[in-house]
């Protein structure tokens, strides 16, 4: 389970919207994403002299740098998240940063929460990346489409609710749902030790090997 969780992490993000976009692109189709791994979060770019004059700094961090499958083309995405970018002046700084990057011939697209939470608008973003970077998105099965809808409804829910303790009924429902999803043979079947006791207690996953000695010897 820990290994599966690590495989769902694309990198370090600076806002909830960046994390949501990364999950939609990075996670496998079976988990609701698109399984695309050729992108970087918080990509650092050293600015040219002309670009520096626009934002008074020598570098910029782009929310997401998307690469073509062969790595020869790139596209920059800036996330206009509600939590971070509703502060006074934040939107202006983002626009200036995008302009500075464009003076260096970097292609930049600004995306909002509404464009990612709405499946049709998100598909328009995928079409843009497909046209510019020659990305061929996989055809999803009905089960994978259902998983994407479920993922989108969960990650665009109120994140404050994540800290709420679930009720006993909700815990029982989640337990039953997870048990039903568990693939047969996913976990090793525990075996009893010959003497009924192992290092971890009554059961162990490791079969004992003969030591070559017997009690008669």
- For residue 202, pLDDT beyond 70: no
- Structural contact between residues 8 and 35, judged by C-beta atoms closer than 8 angstroms: no
**Residues 62-107 pLDDT 10s:** 999 999 999 999 999 999 866 544 454 556 777 788 888 888 989 9
Interatomic CA distance for residues 209 and 191, integer angstroms = 13
With contact defined as beta carbons under 8 Å apart, do 55 and 97 qualify?
yes
Mean pLDDT taken over the chain: 81
Give the DSSP letter string of 61-97. EEEEEEE-TTSS-EEEEEEE-HHHHTSTTHHHHHHHH
**Any residues with CB less than 8 A from the CB of 115 and at least 6 apart, and which?**
121, 122, 124, 125
Give the pLDDT of residue 90. Answer: 59
């Amino acid at each position: 389970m820990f290994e599966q969780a690590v495989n769902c992490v694309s990198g370090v993000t600076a806002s909830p919207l960046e994390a949501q976009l990364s999950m939609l692109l990075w996670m496998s189709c079976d988990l609701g994403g698109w399984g695309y791994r050729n992108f970087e979060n918080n990509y650092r770019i050293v600015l040219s002299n002309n670009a520096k004059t626009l934002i008074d700094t020598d570098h910029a961090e782009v929310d997401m740098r998307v690469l073509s499958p062969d790595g020869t083309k790139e596209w920059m995405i800036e996330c206009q998240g509600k939590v971070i970018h509703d502060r006074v002046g934040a939107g202006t700084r983002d626009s200036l940063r995008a302009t500075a990057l464009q003076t260096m011939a970097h292609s930049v697209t600004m995306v909002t929460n509404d464009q990612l939470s709405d499946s049709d608008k998100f598909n328009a973003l995928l079409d843009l990346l497909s046209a510019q970077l020659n990305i061929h998105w996989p055809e999803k099965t009905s089960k994978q489409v259902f998983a994407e809808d479920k993922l989108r409804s969960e990650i665009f829910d109120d994140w404050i609710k994540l800290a709420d303790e679930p009720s006993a009924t909700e815990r029982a429902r989640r337990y039953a749902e997870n048990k039903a999803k568990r693939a047969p043979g996913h976990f090793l079947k525990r075996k009893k030790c010959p003497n009924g006791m192992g290092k971890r207690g009554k059961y162990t996953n490791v079969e004992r090997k003969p030591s070559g000695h017997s009690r008669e010897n």
